[in-house]
């Protein structure tokens, strides 16, 4: 049985995220974080997260994913519905983006999201097992 480990970097895309997958010796967060610095996708987008996978192959068929890690976010700001302003405060602030965020979170049932600005702003669901690494955002 052949087993290999991979890291997949996820960056903002036009309609869907851009991904780059590379082989890695082990699920090494420090090494993957360092590798992320060399990734640049279309329109100079930089990764906002990565995850690991392990694939096995019996030598006869295409490999099969047998394990997957949580998402490791390369910095970001956590937003929760509890931290978002009331509708009256939103109106006073006059920022319609907050209202859209609240509607989207309520509609999708998300209790937490992460906003990352490593290159382009990306606002994504934040799962309980996801990890936020202390990274300085460039934007």
Answer yes or no: is pLDDT of 137 > 70: no
**Position 111 in a domain:** yes
57 lies in which domain range? 2-74
Domain assignment present for residue 41? The answer is yes
| Res. 90: pLDDT tops 70 | no
Q: For residues 80-89, give the mean pLDDT.
A: 64
Q: Are residues 27 and 69 in the same domain?
A: yes
- Position 106 scores a pLDDT of 83
Bridge partners of 131?
72
**What is residue 138's predicted lDDT score, i.e. its pLDDT?**
44
C-alpha pair distances (Å), 89 with each of 73, 92, 99: 30, 5, 10
Asked whether residue 8 is assigned to any structural domain, the reply reads yes
Looking at the predicted structure, is the pLDDT value of residue 85 above 90?
A: no
pLDDT at 131: 96
Calculate the CA 31 to chain-centre distance. 17
Kindly state the tokens that stand for 73.
């976010």
pLDDT over 60 at 16, yes or no: yes
Domain count, the chain: 2
- Tell me, yes or no, whether 132 lies in a domain: no
**pLDDT at site 135:** 60
Q: Which among 28-32, 87-91, 101-105, 114-118 has the top mean pLDDT?
A: 28-32
- Cα 82 from Cα 111, distance rounded (Å): 9
Nearest-angstrom CA–CA distance, 3 and 64: 9
- Tell me, what's the pLDDT at 139? 40
């Amino acid at each position: 049985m052949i087993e290999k480990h991979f890291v997949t970097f996820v960056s903002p895309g036009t309609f869907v995220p851009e991904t780059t997958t590379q082989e890695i010796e082990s699920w090494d967060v420090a090494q993957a974080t360092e590798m992320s610095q060399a990734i640049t996708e279309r329109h100079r987008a930089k990764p906002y997260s990565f995850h690991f996978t392990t694939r096995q192959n019996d030598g006869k068929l295409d490999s099969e994913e047998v394990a997957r890690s949580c998402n490791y976010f390369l910095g970001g700001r956590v937003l929760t519905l509890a931290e978002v302003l009331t509708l009256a405060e939103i109106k006073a602030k006059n920022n319609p983006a907050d209202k859209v965020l609240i509607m989207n979170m309520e509609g999708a049932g998300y209790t937490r999201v992460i906003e990352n600005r490593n290159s382009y702003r990306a606002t994504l669901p934040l799962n309980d097992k996801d990890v936020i690494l202390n990274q300085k955002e460039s934007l």
